[in-house]
Structure 1
């Protein structure tokens, strides 16, 4: 047990850091996906409130007054004291930035040393037989996740992003407009939640399948013998 603990601290989820093609323990990947699953779940509730929730709320302990008027549907119109809800996304942004860094840290050997979830997940699978997969397909999955996260960050902070772009490129993009539709951000979070659930619960990596398809097309790693021999079935696990 002590030897396994030392090996985990030294190699984390890597099989052998001296190999030309890096392999990682798929058990650790699945546990890590399960830990990070809580973030898209939280984002789902946030975006449902943003997209479908009311932007107005009636002030408590106030009286509604009948205006003696009706709308086009013959509904009685009442006059009330209400306030417009202002959404503040600093906490959500911090979570998204954190998970974005988690996606990026896992792509490199050095970066993995600074990932709390990789370290924690590596300890949680001690004693289980490793399932070694090449890191290339997983990188494809993490790039896909990082793309979804980046879009959501822009959705929550359109003014800041526009301000940065204007400062860097000298453009004059309006900072009072959200360029990411709310339906797009909500659907991306649903997709991200689905992909992470498939990875953590069923061990099905959608990003890996996309990577395999790109390999078969010769778009990526066309000179990597290991990647070219990746199969959609049991041969994918070494």
Structure 2
């Protein structure tokens, strides 16, 4: 437990090429999976749900019919308004979690990293380089920022207008609804594959960019070398050689 609080999910935080325990990464993805699930239901309700609130108790028969002999009722109906304060704070927390996992220092402020490291401490660690995961979490951060813009178009428009002198509308949502709707389901799928299958889509994209010579990648095979075990075996070999030389 002391090592967990000291190193979290890192093999050694002072290494030049940082490696993290992939078992803890998968556990953390499972802990954060509730966020895209919650956002997917929110977006579904906002996009496909009714935009009107009708009080059925105030329906009044007008004693009139339409051309198809359907009875016409008069009802009190108001335009439905949405308050995305809770969703905005959830998205800010998700963005914090994505950014926190990218660096050693900020990882110590993440509750999910600590919980995942504790839960994974009883299993044999599987070391993976941090760089591909950092790229994957950068993709996740981009998805979250897009959703933040969708839920707060007036605030974002005011910021952009004040900074650049533009005239973005502040009275309606200028972002098409299908953009965050697709991204939240993509994010949900990526996190599910990370949690259940251990398949990191962002890491695979990173590997593809490495193959195209766009990015560099640390040697993962080199990162799995157990240097402590090698040192122990060398010490044992030197000790045997010294004993053999003493016998002669």
Which category describes the TM-score, using the shorter chain as reference length?
0.7 to 0.9
Alpha carbons of structure 1 residues 127 and 113: separation in structure 2 relative to 1, 3 Å: same
Deviates more, 1:52-61 or 1:62-71: 62-71
Matched position secondary structure for 1:133: strand
Alignment-derived partner of residue 212 in structure 1: 207
Alignment-derived partner of residue 24 in structure 2: 28
Aligned counterparts, 1:47-86, within 5 A: 47-66=43-62, 68-70=64-66, 77-86=72-81
Q: Which entry has the higher C-alpha Rg, 1 or 2?
A: 2
Q: How many residues align?
A: 224
Distance in 1 (CA, whole Å) between partners of 2:172 and 2:54 is 27
Distance in 2 (CA, whole Å) between partners of 1:135 and 1:200 is 17
CA positional deviation for 1:187: 1.2
Distance in 2 (CA, whole Å) between partners of 1:236 and 1:194 is 31
Alpha carbons of structure 1 residues 13 and 74: separation in structure 2 relative to 1, 3 Å: farther
CA positional deviation for 1:203: 0.4
**Which of 175, 181, 185 in structure 1 is aligned with 2:176?**
181
CA positional deviation for 1:53: 0.5
1:111-144 CA distance string (max 9 Å, x none): 1011111111111111100010001110111011
Distance in 1 (CA, whole Å) between partners of 2:213 and 2:167 is 41
Please, what TM-score do these two structures have when normalized by structure 1? 0.88
Please, what TM-score do these two structures have when normalized by structure 2? 0.85
Alpha carbons of structure 1 residues 168 and 51: separation in structure 2 relative to 1, 3 Å: same
- Alignment root-mean-square deviation, CA: 2.0
